[in-house]
Amino acid sequence: DADVTQTPRNRITKTGKRIMLECSQTKGHDRMYWYRQDPGLGLRLIYYSFDVKDINKGEISDGYSVSRQAQAKFSLSLESAIPNQTALYFCATSDFAGYEQYFGPGTRLTVT
């Protein structure tokens, strides 16, 4: 089984809808991250969490919120989706040292 899983893998939604992307991990890592990837822009950090009570904004957090429900679960929400949030979204984890990050398979989100 994969160490980092993401659901759904693909999602098409309409402008203004609320949507949640979920991430679960079995690596036992404390740190979890959400990134988005756009063609020509690379991976950009949205939010990251060191543990259940520690959540931090990344470089592009506007329009997004997160919830760390447990050590193994980290969800990303779009409260009111807009078309420029169409992208690939990746969850990643790392251990306490925070060096190597391990990525999930991604969610392809399309907002129409």
Partner 1 sequence: EDQVTQSPEALRLQEGESSSLNCSYTVSGLRGLFWYRQDPGKGPEFLFTLYSAGEEKEKERLKATLTKKESFLHITAPKPEDSATYLCAVRQGGSEKLVFGKGMKLTVNP
Identify residues 5-64 at the interface with partner 1 (CB under 8 A): 31, 40-45, 48, 50, 56, 58-59
Q: Which of 45, 39, 41 is nearest to 60 (CA)?
A: 45
First and final C-alpha spacing in the chain: 33
The answer to the question of residue 105 lying near partner 1 (CB under 8 A) is yes
The answer to the question of residue 102 lying near partner 1 (CB under 8 A) is yes
Residue placing its CB nearer to partner 1 in the complex, 53 or 99? 99
| Paired tokens of 11 | 């999602």
Cα 103 from Cα 34, distance rounded (Å): 9
Question: For binding to partner 1 (CB under 8 A), which residues are involved?
Answer: 4, 31, 40-45, 48, 50, 56, 58-59, 90, 92, 98-106, 108
